[in-house]
């Protein structure tokens, strides 16, 4: 993998972890339930799968449907996920969830994420440029010998 690809993947990862994502349990074994939400840390996202870490221990012997709400600065996107896979024997657990999103919402959401990534790259470049402008330069000091 090239350095540019690694950098882009790292920036994408940082962007994902900066998104607020709320998780609720929507259905258990096909029956609708009401639950409060908890925030989760997203570790991976693509067009059909989301991975996250959570302290919650979802039972693997029930069919659970979860609702995920991702927030950006100005918008939120709702997803329904099922087919939950859990890794780990102790909290925090790593989860992998398949989700469905309508095509229009998908293109809007990923377009918004890409726009945020471009903005983040521009912001980072401006911060580096500003830092470089303030970089200290060698200063001449007179040679002073201190004697006691």
- Span 99-118, pLDDT tens digits: 877 777 777 777 777 777 66
- Under 8 Å between Cβ of 63 and 30: yes
pLDDT of residue 109: 73
What are the tokens at 3? 């350095």
Q: Would you call 117 helix, strand, or coil by DSSP?
A: helix
On the question of a cis peptide bond just before residue 59, with omega within 30 degrees of 0, the verdict is no
pTM for the model stands at 0.64
Residues 69 and 21: their CA atoms lie apart, in Å, by 5
Residue 124 has pLDDT above 60, yes or no: no
Name 97's bridge partners.
50, 84
Domain boundaries, the chain: 3-132
pLDDT of residue 1: 52
- The DSSP secondary structure of 36-100, one letter per residue, reads --EEEEEEEE-SSEEEEEES----TTS-EEEEEEEE-SS-EEEEEEEEEEEE-SSSSEEEEEEEE
Identify the band that residue 143 occupies on the pLDDT scale cut at 50, 70 and 90: low
Mean pLDDT value across residues 61-75: 84
For CA atoms 44, 70, 104, 63, the dihedral sign is positive
Where is average pLDDT lowest: 55-69, 71-85, 89-103?
A: 71-85
- Under 8 Å between Cβ of 112 and 71: no
Most confident segment among 29-38, 105-114, 124-133 = 29-38
State the architecture of 3-132 in CATH terms.
Answer: Beta Barrel (2.40)
């Amino acid at each position: 993998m090239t350095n540019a690809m690694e950098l882009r993947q790292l920036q994408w990862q940082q962007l994902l972890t900066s998104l607020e994502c709320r998780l609720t349990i929507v259905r258990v074994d096909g029956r609708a339930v009401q639950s409060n939400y908890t925030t989760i840390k997203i570790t991976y996202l693509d067009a059909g799968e989301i991975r996250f870490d959570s302290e919650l221990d979802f039972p693997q012997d029930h069919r659970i449907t979860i609702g995920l709400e991702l927030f950006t600065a100005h918008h939120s996107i709702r997803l329904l996920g099922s087919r939950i896979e859990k890794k780990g024997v102790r909290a925090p657990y790593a989860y992998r969830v398949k989700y469905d999103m309508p095509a229009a919402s998908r293109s809007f959401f990923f377009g918004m994420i890409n726009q945020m990534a471009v903005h983040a790259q521009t912001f980072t470049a401006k911060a580096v440029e500003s830092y470089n402008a303030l970089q200290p330069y060698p200063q001449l000091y007179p040679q002073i010998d201190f004697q006691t």
